[in-house]
Amino acid sequence: MSDKYQGFVSSPIGKLLVKNLGLPNPTKLERYEAGDPLVDGTVLVGGTGRLAESLPGLLDVLGIASATTAGESQRFKGLVFDATGLKDSTELVALRDFFTPLLRSLEDCPRVVVIGTPPELVKGPERVAQRALEGFTRSLGKEIGKGGTVQLVYVAEGAEAGVSSTLGFLLSPKSAYVSGQVVRIGVHGKAEVTEVADQTQPLAGKVALVTGASRGIGESIARTLHRDGAKVVGLDVPQAASELQALMKELDGDWLTLDISGDDAPQRIAHHLTEKHGGVDVVVHNAGITRDRKLANMSPNDKGDRWAQVLGVNLTAPERITRELLDQGVINAGGSIIGVASIAGIAGNVGQTNYAASKAGVIGLVDSLADELADGITINAVAPGFIITQMTAAVPFATREVGQRLNAMAQGGLPIDVAETIAWYANPASSLVNGNVVRVCGQMMLGA
């Protein structure tokens, strides 16, 4: 499951070939290990807007060192620019004036965050200027190199204090494979900003349900939520029972085996969570299947109905389970519901009309519930790009290589990259992060 190409290009002969043939040369991405500081270096903060003044204090609470001016030959691990003060298109030049002199002073795997005002919440020339930020950050993400990431965080007026967990995620190695993304804070729903007592155990005392938890991305999600303090309830199909039990025993968790597309699955899950745990705080709809076939060949046959299977497991099941848990009040106040969409659900993919429809539907589920949920419950989704798992190891070599290289980081992501993004959503301090679909794709060329 390791990226052999990346190993190859860092070998002496590989380096020679990369240089002479112009092969992609992926940077080894830094990733977070339990116990690490969130940011290993200094973050320079600039701009003039609603957040500029409070940013150093917010970062300090997270244990992140910051500066507001650049000393000569000083190097930075991250740059945060508050662009909420830009009121029309002529003022956008402030972006160039801030970034251009700093881009040669960045360490490896640098982090850039631009903070704006959600365009849809303002009017006229300010809306134009704020919308322009998206073209800027997506371009910078494609050219920054060195394993760097660039994000745009739109913060609604009044939601400034709710940005902390998002900065912690986007400035740290936890977001290694997340780039070119647009995050909205405080736009959907109404919630209070929640503080977390222990930054390293934000989920202490919380119960997290993870479907498809026995291996791959689901296993990584379970491990990461456990690392962050949660009691994990792993769910998988009966055939995966032994793997699931072994993992959940290791994580001091609980388990449940059933087919989520079964008629009585929502009731059984609700019953289990209520009886054994008194409710649930985090619900991760990770289980999913593919049954690829071009639409012209998608008729049901004796092997089953590829359309119905994929839509049933990937979309209808998470919908029904979510509604049942909400209707019965099983999800605790301040909880979070997290869907797993896909690049294919955003950009479409050959042979995946069924899968892409199901994953676009997951985005619809997020949109549908984000404005309706009560009690500070949030709903968000991740949309993975090319993530290296046992499933992708089965993809033919050439297709896999193209899929892995066609992104700004010229490499595939790891299950942990998806898991860290989910842990950010699950963090109680992300109470104003609602209605987002964030791609974990190394800023893949596929899809905006």
Among the listed residues 23, 67, 121, 298, the single contact to a copy of itself using CB under 8 A? 298
* Least gap, CB of 404 to a copy of itself (angstroms): 15
Q: By C-beta, is 133 or 159 nearer to a copy of itself?
A: 133
Helix residue ranges per DSSP H, 39-163? 55-61, 93-99, 124-143
Q: Quick count: other Cβ atoms within 10 Å of Cβ 424?
A: 28
Q: Is 304 in the site for a copy of itself (CB under 8 A)?
A: no
Question: Distance between CA 11 and CA 20 in Å, rounded?
Answer: 14
Stretch near a copy of itself under the rule CB under 8 A, chosen from 70-78, 219-227, 273-281, 289-297: 289-297
User: Binders of a copy of itself among 174-193, rule CB under 8 A?
Assistant: 180
List 211's β-bridge partners, or say none.
Answer: 235
Q: By C-beta, is 240 or 315 nearer to a copy of itself?
A: 315
177 is catalytic: no
**Closest Cα partner for 95 from 145, 135, 123, 54?**
135
Where do the DSSP E strands lie in 178-303? Answer: 181-185, 207-211, 231-236, 254-257, 280-285
Stretch near a copy of itself under the rule CB under 8 A, chosen from 33-41, 59-67, 130-138, 164-172: 130-138
Task: Give backbone dihedrals phi and psi of 326, rounded to 5 degrees, phi first.
Answer: -70, -45
Helix residue ranges per DSSP H, 62-163? 93-99, 124-143
CA 80 centroid distance within chain: 19
* Half-sphere CA count of 253, side-chain side, radius 13 A: 32
Token digits for 313? 């497991």
Question: How far separated are the first and last CA of the chain, in Å rounded?
Answer: 27
Q: Is 146 in the site for a copy of itself (CB under 8 A)?
A: no
User: Binders of a copy of itself among 59-98, rule CB under 8 A?
Assistant: 88-90, 92-93, 95-96
Q: Is 295 in the site for a copy of itself (CB under 8 A)?
A: yes
* Least gap, CB of 95 to a copy of itself (angstroms): 7
Q: By C-beta, is 61 or 295 nearer to a copy of itself?
A: 295
Question: Distance between CA 186 and CA 153 in Å, rounded?
Answer: 11
User: Binders of a copy of itself among 350-369, rule CB under 8 A?
Assistant: 350-361, 363-365, 367-368
- At 321, which amino acid appears? I
Among the listed residues 5, 307, 386, 424, the single contact to a copy of itself using CB under 8 A? 307
Q: Is 119 in the site for a copy of itself (CB under 8 A)?
A: yes
Among the listed residues 11, 239, 242, 299, the single contact to a copy of itself using CB under 8 A? 299
User: Binders of a copy of itself among 329-348, rule CB under 8 A?
Assistant: 344-348
User: Binders of a copy of itself among 232-271, rule CB under 8 A?
Assistant: none
Q: By C-beta, is 254 or 319 nearer to a copy of itself?
A: 319
Which positions are catalytic? 355
